[in-house]
A and B are shown apart, each in its own frame.
Chain A
């Protein structure tokens, strides 16, 4: 599904990703962990196509296409979803309106008809109930005045509605109380399936108690320095990142 090969990327004057390679197949869940500033969000933004993150080397294949050739909206319509670490507020734009526009943009791209307001609302209410979200969030401005936890749930709602092939969740678990964390995990587990892949960016083992990853990678200074199965996350929790770094440079 996703093949990242020796990817290098720069923000402003600094090189952030310095030759990152990662292969993700359909049906897999990958967790990416690593200290603050190691480049986790940068990787997510590069995959999503943010233009502040300049690719200076390497290539990325997504479902057999050259991903870096596509505009951000094209990537999204092709099934890539990024749950943002800091979802932006868009005051005045109705949450339901944005969500419906997003769903229809994707359907149009797939040659499907638009969903009408009735179908849309029915589906949105179902998904919200499953996430423990009050339906009144549909009528608020996008993330406008939402608490941290509400913003993250809203990201998961969007993901649930868009049913992406590749979902990247950037620290969706940070700052969540246990109920919210469970709701998020349930949203992700519902999405999980043989045709989809999920990349979880996280700091904490906590999330992985609820979403069991197939692979765990440690990112440091713009490279993946270690990969393993779910036991690597437990080991990290116990021994810290320093341990991997030392092991890697040894």
Chain B
């Protein structure tokens, strides 16, 4: 390959790719108005965006950090965090897969990650990953033909300010909670999606996203708008283990579904959970909310959470439009010293709205796994329906599962059903499998995957297989 070729590929990445175009240095640790201004300036943001950030910052200053009964962690030192980190230069990155930690490659193998994605995921310098760049370019062309806007958040702020202005903060207001306010002030980057009226997005946004968004930073911001009658399936995250020096991650995701639109949002979260003793690991405090703004709209959240030392997230649906539908399918795994506190909120506002919640919590080692869910039916929501199924699976004796289903029903016509089960993988079950020639580890995987089946079937096909493998890797050594 000639150097000219390489150069054109590198340039193409900046042209079509999904990377922030900032090459300045990191800001010193600490947070004040100056830092907020500096972040905005470095991203060449229009005035409205800076104003929005500054208001969020002032609101954040007045808010108190939440305390959660079931989570235990040392306080986050907000003044020791650097709020703007320059992207790693290619010179600091491995030049090829040969230079990447073999352990990491082994994990990719176990997870069945396609070969052409591995280099990008491992952070190999760009000239070595031309394959995926050209793949990305093809996707981008296909999307723009359909009129779909899919770009980094920074790009959207500059190129589509009217859409950003109209929808940003319309689902998760700046002062919604402490971490949402912080994110609003200092968000680094993220993705922006707009699907025009009546358009069915021609592809899963997963593939495209996976090979592009390796480094979105610790304060990620995502905004997805599905205009009337449109349809989109979006997949965030990656089964590959993600390590990050930033301990605190506080993302915000906002979804807007207008009349008759459908958004399917799937997440696979596999941030570094820390070692067996709980040292290191990411604190993952995320605010995710979808707004079924129009009649007959639908938002469906599917998540597979295996990573992070602490996870705190409740992807929620505001069911405003008549007949709108909210769904939440979740698998949360907590092993070793991990703490997971996840669930959902379904807020029924419109008439005949319905919601489904399927939560599968798996605890192993000394981990604590909590489901926290709210089903709220407002007085005007006639004929609202909810079905909640909340199952916990315990592996070993030292872990715990907790279920907190809250209900606020203000309309007597509502039909609400809640089922909960807790089961253990018993020694007899394992012995039965072993007597049939199946190793203990395979037996555990088999039982766990069986337990999660209902959720996995909601994932995009090729991802379901990876998610299954991911669960197996996450529970390695959970027994015996």
Contact = CB atoms under 8 A, between A and B. Distances in A.
A and B from one assembly?
Answer: yes
Contacts of B434: 49, 71-73, 76
For the complex, would chain B's binding face be called helix, strand, loop or mixed by DSSP majority?
Answer: helix
Interface stretch (A33-41, A98-106, A190-198): A98-106
A84 B432 CA distance: 8
A97 B453 CA distance: 13
Contacts of A77: 437
A141 B450 contact: yes
Interface stretch (B94-102, B215-223, B439-447): B439-447
A73 B447 contact: no
A81 B432 CA distance: 11
Contacts of B437: 73, 76-77, 102, 105-106, 109, 162
Given A73-B438, A77-B437, A105-B437, A92 B451 contact: yes
A156 to B, nearest CB: 14
Interface residues of A, number: 32
Nearest to A143: B432
A94 B450 contact: yes
Contacts of A248: none
Nearest to A97: B446
Q: Which of B423, B432, B436, B450 has the most CB of A within 10 A?
A: B436
Contacts of A188: none
A91 B439 contact: no
Given A88-B429, A90-B429, A98 B423 contact: no
Interface in B442-471: 442, 446-447, 450-451, 453
Interface string A232-247: 0000000000000000
Contacts of A87: 432
Contact of A158 (B429, B436, B442, B450): B436
Interface in B394-438: 423, 426-429, 431-438
Contacts of B432: 84, 87-88, 90, 142
Nearest to B450: A92
Nearest to A78: B437
Contacts of B453: 92
A76 B429 contact: no
A54 to B, nearest CB: 15
A48 B451 contact: no
Nearest to A83: B435
A46 interface: no
A76 B453 CA distance: 28
A98 B431 contact: no
A73 B431 CA distance: 9
A162 B436 CA distance: 9
Nearest to A82: B435
A65 interface: no
B435 to A, nearest CB: 5
A79 B75 CA distance: 57
A72 B439 CA distance: 9
A90 B445 CA distance: 12
A93 interface: yes
A88 B436 contact: no
Contacts of A71: 434
23 contacts: A48-B431, A49-B435, A50-B431, A72-B434, A73-B434, A73-B437, A73-B439, A75-B435, A77-B437, A82-B435, A88-B426, A90-B429, A90-B447, A91-B450, A93-B446, A93-B447, A97-B446, A101-B438, A101-B446, A102-B437, A105-B438, A109-B437, A142-B432
Given A88-B429, A98-B436, A105-B442, 13 more contacts: A48-B431, A49-B435, A72-B431, A73-B440, A87-B432, A88-B426, A88-B432, A90-B433, A90-B450, A92-B450, A97-B446, A105-B439, A162-B437
Query: Which 3 A-B pairs give the minimum distances between C-beta atoms?
Result: A92-B450, A102-B436, A105-B437
Interface of A: 48-52, 71-73, 75-77, 81-82, 84, 87-88, 90-94, 97-98, 101-102, 105-106, 109, 141-142, 158, 162
